[in-house]
Amino acid sequence: MDNPGGSDPLVIRSLEFMGGMATAGGWRPDADLPEIAFAGRSNVGKSSLLNRLVKRKAFARVSRTPGRTREINFFRVNDQFVLADLPGYGYAKISKERKAEWRPLLEGYLSGTTRLAGVVQLLDIRRDPSDDDISMLDFLAQLEVPTIVVLTKTDKLSRGAVTRRQDDIVRGLMLDPAQTISFSAVTGEGRDELAAAVASIAAAYTDQVDAGAGADADATDLEPGDCEE
């Protein structure tokens, strides 16, 4: 057992691959659950992080060659929420045509998903954020969607360097340290912290929708012309 203390903040009871969305406006699964998307440049470790998060070795496909995840892949977790593995951006060797498809796909998904509860933005802890990373964070800020920043591949650095790089990135991007998680898909560092954050974003979204649905239901109970007594 991974967590003998039984304190796993995200126990995976069911996990289902729902399919992939290949083009903006193309097929996507029904959006009846809150969705949490995983974004970041190609090769930053999105698919590896998802596998760690759900504790499966090869659920999301991990690539040797950057640019492997070409569609938005959807995974349903515990019949409670959906995780969306986004294709990576910013890989220089991908053809221009493919790049031209990505931006509308990513932006269309992010701005068109009515139940987007949050986004996990990945950055490689060893690298300075790229222009693409910064425009993605700006785009998410404009959407006002709750965003968690995960700094990946911490196993490649010493403890001291991890702390230093984390401080630099948080300061450089003016991030909220409480919304920033250091992570390694190799050692599992940060998995439980991320799992707790994802579960809490999904739960907060569901609570908000339930509260909103209650208000709507009250409103529609009133027929035009209805009045009390």
Ligand X SMILES: Nc1nc2c(ncn2[C@@H]2O[C@H](COP(=O)(O)OP(=O)(O)OP(=O)(O)O)[C@@H](O)[C@H]2O)c(=O)[nH]1
Query: Contact positions toward ligand X, by CB under 6 A?
Result: 40, 42-48, 62-64, 66-69, 87-88, 152-153, 155-156, 184-186
Q: Confirm if 187 and 2 have CB atoms less than 8 A apart.
A: no
Q: Phi and psi (nearest 5°) for 73? A: -100, 135
- The 10 Å CB-count burial string (b at 16+, else e) for 149-188 is bbbbbbeebeeeebeebbeebbeebebeeeebbbbbbeee
Smallest distance, Å, CB 155 to ligand X?
Answer: 5
Smallest distance, Å, CB 169 to ligand X?
Answer: 16
186 binds, among Mg ion, ligand X, none (CB under 5 to 8 A by kind): ligand X
3-state secondary structure of 12: coil
Spacing of C-alpha 142 from chain mean position: 16
C-beta closer to ligand X: residue 34 or 67: 67
C-beta closer to Mg ion: residue 89 or 205: 89
Smallest distance, Å, CB 41 to ligand X?
Answer: 7
Smallest distance, Å, CB 130 to ligand X?
Answer: 13
Sequence-ordered list of residues with C-beta below 8 angstroms from that of 136, at least 6 positions apart, any chain: 39, 40, 89, 121
Sequence-ordered list of residues with C-beta below 8 angstroms from that of 174, at least 6 positions apart, any chain: none
Smallest distance, Å, CB 26 to ligand X?
Answer: 18
Smallest distance, Å, CB 8 to ligand X?
Answer: 20
C-beta closer to ligand X: residue 153 or 165: 153
Q: Which residue of the chain is nearest ligand X when measured via CB? A: 88
**AA identity, residue 134:** I
67 binds, among Mg ion, ligand X, none (CB under 5 to 8 A by kind): ligand X
How many angstroms separate the CA atoms of 107 and 94, rounded? 18
- Site stretch for Mg ion (CB under 5 A), options 2-10, 68-76, 168-176, 202-210: 68-76
- In the stretch 40-59, what mask flags binding to Mg ion with x, by CB under 5 A? ------xx------------
Sequence-ordered list of residues with C-beta below 8 angstroms from that of 67, at least 6 positions apart, any chain: 42, 87, 88, 91, 93, 94, 98
* Residue ranges in contact with Mg ion by CB under 5 A: 46-47, 69
